Structure 1
Amino acid sequence: MTQLTPLFPRQQVPALSVDTVGGGSWSLADAKPENFTLIVVYRGLHCPICGMYLKDLDRKLADFKERGVEVIALSSDDADRARQSREDWKLENLTLGYGLTLDKAREWGLYISSGRGKTSVGIEEPKLFVEPGLFLVRPNGELYFASIQTMPFARPDFAAILKALDFVLANNYPGRGEIVDHLAQAAE
């Protein structure tokens, strides 16, 4: 399995492409947002918190589009589980990708968990699955913001992200956390 490595703001993110519910595929290389691409990685059909989180995102899609942000949510689920997620969670507008490989998830710095049986909603966890992550990527493929988690709880709030985007866009605020080698930077 690919080694877990951090991504740094202002640097290129790895390539990313997935199939989407309803047919077709999505690729970061083909994304043409005005300002950012928002990539939301969710745990999968088995996660009731993911359902509530993505439903909130689905309701706010127009707000993101208004700010020039293209949005996709994706998981390591297969096509059937992703389709069921769309139906069960009543996601009306959100582009839902599936089939994120565990190796690709590692390239993006995401954590992987092992299944532990049925969840509180009675759905079996996959043998292995990806934990949540949220990424804002500039149109040129540079990482702007990332939130990577080991648990399904306490995810970034979409209303707060929208508010932050207003500030970022109004002030041309740069991506932060860009220092890769702090010792070399301190020596300069």
Structure 2
Amino acid sequence: MSLQAKLAAFKKNFEAGGPPYNAPEWIHEPMHRATNELIASGAANRAKKVGDVAPTFILQDADGNTVSSTELLTKGALVISFYRGVWCPYCNIELQSLQEALPTIRELGGNLVAISPQTAPNSRRSARENKLDFPILSDPGNEVAAAFGLRFTLPDYLVDLYKNVFKNDLQVVNGDPSWTLPMPARYVIGKNGDVVYADVNPDYTTRPDPEELLPALRKLADASK
């Protein structure tokens, strides 16, 4: 089953009030409204795209080790997945799909990292629960996400829903009071720092299948021979 098919199946069950969330019907309208407002804002059009130079970054992984994008690019192409956090089931489904694709990504000379605004303990939980073999990096305040043009601020009515209904206080989860998130995005960056593949979607329920980035990696691998 493709990643998008898995996401669609989850969404159908969630919006039907199915287990394990058993979500009340009324919550869906504000969630849809927030997504539609983000789409209408055109924010995704301002994010880094193919042909742009990718911002460099230095972040810490879940164990406190420093990870430099510049250093990673000396080893090969860099695949980056920006995601919202361990609390997001759509993100967890995506991370599992990327884990399945990891052997192929590495065979093609790529290094994979995931970036979220959550604190290190939550990143460790992400890695543990999704059985990941690639680094998860913490992006405090979504500063790197902002450099890629991905950061946005949640509307007040969604903050209220997250905090008081879902009991998901992002100020605690992210160790940051800003109530910002990244739009889910996936990039492939060549060794020269150029973006060669980009997918940014303000609708967090939609993610590309990992296979879609493989042609870009293959092209880079062939060019390096």
Which position in structure 1 is the counterpart of 2:146? 106
- Please say which of residues 107-116 and 17-26 is displaced more in the overlay: 107-116
| Equivalent-residue separation in structure 1 for 2:135 and 2:181 (angstroms) | 20
2:123 aligned partner, one-letter code? A
Partner of 1:117: 162
Given the alignment of the two structures, is residue 17 of structure 1 paired with residue 58 of structure 2, yes or no? yes
**SS of aligned partner of 2:59:** strand
Over 3 Å counting, the alpha-carbon distance change for 1:152 and 1:55 in structure 2 is same
Whole-angstrom distance in 2 between the partners of 1:125 and 1:148: 25
CA contact (8 A) 1:111 1:150 kept: no
| TM-score for both structures, normalised by structure 1 | 0.76
The aligned amino acid for 1:55 is Q
Distance 1:119 1:37 in 2: 38
Question: Cα gap change, 1:15/1:170 in structure 2, threshold over 3 Å: closer, same or farther?
Answer: closer
Equivalent residues of 2:151, 2:180 under 8 A apart:
no
Cα gap change, 1:112 to 1:125, in 2 (>3 Å):
farther
Counterpart secondary structure, 1:53: helix
- The structure that is helix-richer by fraction is 2
Mapping of residues 127-166 of structure 1, within 5 Å: 127-163=179-215, 165-166=217-218
- 1:97 aligned counterpart, secondary structure: strand
Structural RMSD (CA): 2.6
**Match for residue 95 of structure 2?**
54
Percent pairwise identity: 23
Of 73-82 and 102-111, the range deviating more from structure 2: 102-111
Matched pairs, number: 166
Question: Which residue matches 2:13?
Answer: none
Residue 65 of structure 1 is aligned with which of 106, 109, 125? 106
TM-score of the aligned structures, taking structure 2 as reference length:
0.64
- Secondary structure at 1:124 match in 2: coil
Give the aligned partner of residue 97 of structure 1: 137
Q: Which runs of 5+ in 1 are unaligned?
A: 173-188
Give the 3-state SS of the residue equivalent to 2:162 in structure 1: coil
Distance change in 2, residues 1:119/1:154 (3 Å): farther
Residue deviations 1:111-143 (CA, integer Å, cap 9, x gap): 4242431699x6615133222111111111111
Q: CA deviation at 1:82?
A: 1.1
CA contact (8 A) 1:7 1:13 kept: yes
